[in-house]
């Protein structure tokens, strides 16, 4: 079952196992009144600072697009492996396409129990191509491309409003990010966790932070766990009619540590599960550095696209092989797990 917003929004706090997760209604980010937008920005700021993981509702969401995306993913992943591998991600120009089980690894001795189809910014021009910027590899299925593209553009527009909310929260011009996210290599993933009867002790996805600024996630089943600021893993249950949002590496840097990237994982995959995260980044050449005022920077600068590619190349097998063969070189690569809290490390 999909969860999406279908009624009049309210601002509530959801309690689970004595842990508080905020639910923020972002409907008023579309308001013509600055006061309304500032109210939402304050709620985003509080949730990102205190928890780093939150639920979102909003009048902007179109549930029909969510339903079409889910049905499209089910049809796609029901194909045999040979058919899906025709569009293997290692064949693409912009790191897009089918990701088989075992391709993506956050630890060498660990295989995540998932498959995926990754869709990046579909850049058709010859100018401005980068390792993550180029033409998206699509299956030979016009309906797949239509439904996935529609959802991509829909959720991208919502994310642009959230960027404006974060700009207000950080005391910047509301449109500060607008010119820095024009051709961002933001990625939509269609992830499928097949049913494994004996998978209770295996990860669907190993612990990690997201590399980008923030993520908007639509899951269809439970299993998500988050490392809270007390260094404890907690379950994140589905909350009806919501998206899930978390802070990533880049927003930790941009906010100068005000918001910490949130480590998370998917555990106990004992039922079929689909998940649709959209990872919001800035433009490839944009320099990520603290943008808060009247504070000494706690982080060194990094280039957005370079960081994304470096982290990606440390987790995908086809890119690891290219690095080993000397076909690509990673410059200024930071180790995985460079951001957020570790287990048993409490935030102060």
Q: How confident is the model over 125-165, as pLDDT tens digits?
A: 888 788 899 999 999 999 999 999 999 999 999 999 999 99
Helices then strands, each counted (H, E), the chain: 7, 15
Residues forming a β-bridge with 134: 122
Residue 268, pLDDT score: 60
In 3D space, the residue among 127, 165, 234 whose CA is nearest the CA of residue 25 turns out to be 165
Question: Rounded to whole angstroms, how far apart are CA atoms 225 and 291?
Answer: 30
Q: Is the pLDDT assigned to residue 347 strictly greater than 60?
A: no
Task: Dump pLDDT digits (tens) for 74-116.
Answer: 999 999 999 999 999 999 989 999 999 989 876 666 677 889 9
- CB-based contact 262:52 (threshold 8 Å): yes
Q: Where residue 341 falls among pLDDT bands split at 50, 70, 90? A: low
Interatomic CA distance for residues 287 and 302, integer angstroms: 6
pLDDT at 7: 34
Token representation of residue 152: 């991509």
With cut-offs at 50, 70 and 90, classify the pLDDT of residue 293. Answer: confident
At 235, the pLDDT band (50, 70, 90 cuts) reads confident
| Distance of alpha carbon 148 from alpha carbon 153, whole angstroms | 9
What is the pairing mode between strands 19-25 and 53-57? parallel
Q: What angle do CA 115, 120, 124 make, to 5 degrees?
A: 135
Q: Where are the domains of the chain?
A: 12-324
Region 12-324: CATH code: 2.60.120.330
Q: Which residue, 332, 313, 331, is CA-closest to 323?
A: 313
Q: What is the pLDDT of residues 264-286, one digit of tens each?
A: 787 766 678 899 999 999 999 99
pTM above 0.75, yes or no: yes
The long-range contacts involving 229-232, CB below 8 angstroms and separated by at least 24 positions, are: 229/50, 229/51, 229/52, 229/260, 229/341, 229/346, 229/347, 230/346, 230/347, 231/341, 231/342, 231/343, 231/344, 231/345, 231/346
Count other C-beta atoms under 10 Å from residue 62's C-beta.
16
Helix (H, G, I), strand (E, B) or coil at 241: coil
Identify the sign of the CA torsion 317, 86, 138, 150: negative
Q: Is the pLDDT of residue 348 over 60?
A: no
Most confident of the following: 23-37, 109-123, 199-213, 222-236 = 23-37
Instruction: Return d(Cα 187, Cα 201) in angstroms, integer.
Output: 29
pLDDT at 267: 72
* 97 φψ region: left (φ > 0), alpha (ψ -120 to 50), beta (else): left
Nearest partner of 116 among 311, 242, 277, judged by Cα: 277
């Amino acid at each position: 079952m999909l969860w999406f917003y279908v009624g009049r929004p309210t601002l509530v706090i959801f309690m689970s196992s004595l842990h508080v997760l905020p639910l923020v209604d972002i409907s008023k980010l579309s308001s013509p009144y600055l006061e309304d937008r500032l109210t939402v920005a304050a709620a985003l700021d509080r949730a990102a600072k205190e928890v780093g993981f939150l639920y979102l509702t909003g009048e902007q969401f179109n549930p029909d697009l969510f339903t079409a995306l889910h049905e499209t993913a089910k049809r796609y992943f029901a194909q045999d492996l040979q058919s899906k591998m025709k569009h293997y991600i290692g064949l693409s120009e912009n790191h897009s396409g089918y990701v088989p089980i075992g391709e993506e690894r956050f630890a060498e001795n660990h295989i995540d129990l998932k498959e995926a189809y990754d869709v990046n910014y579909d850049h058709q021009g010859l100018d401005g191509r980068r390792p993550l910027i180029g033409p998206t590899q699509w299956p030979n299925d016009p309906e797949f491309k239509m439904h996935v593209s529609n959802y991509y553009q829909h959720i991208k527009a919502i994310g642009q409003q959230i960027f404006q909310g974060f700009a207000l929260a950080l005391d910047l011009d509301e449109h500060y990010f607008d010119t820095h996210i024009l051709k961002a290599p933001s990625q939509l993933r269609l992830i499928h966790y097949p049913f494994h009867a004996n998978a209770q002790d295996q990860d669907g996805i190993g612990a990690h932070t997201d590399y980008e600024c923030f993520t908007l996630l639509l899951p269809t089943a439970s299993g998500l766990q988050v490392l809270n600021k007390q260094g404890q893993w907690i379950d994140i249950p589905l909350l009806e009619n919501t998206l899930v949002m978390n802070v990533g590496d880049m927003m930790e840097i941009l906010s100068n540590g005000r918001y910490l990237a949130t480590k998370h994982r998917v555990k106990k995959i004992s039922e079929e599960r689909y998940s649709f995260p959209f990872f919001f980044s800035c433009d490839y050449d944009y320099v990520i550095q603290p943008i808060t005022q009247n504070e000494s920077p706690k982080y060194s600068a990094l280039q957005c696209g370079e960081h994304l590619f470096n982290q990606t190349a440390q987790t995908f097998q086809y890119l690891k092989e290219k690095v080993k063969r000397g076909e690509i070189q990673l410059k200024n690569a930071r180790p995985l797990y460079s951001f957020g809290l570790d287990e048993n490390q409490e935030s102060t």
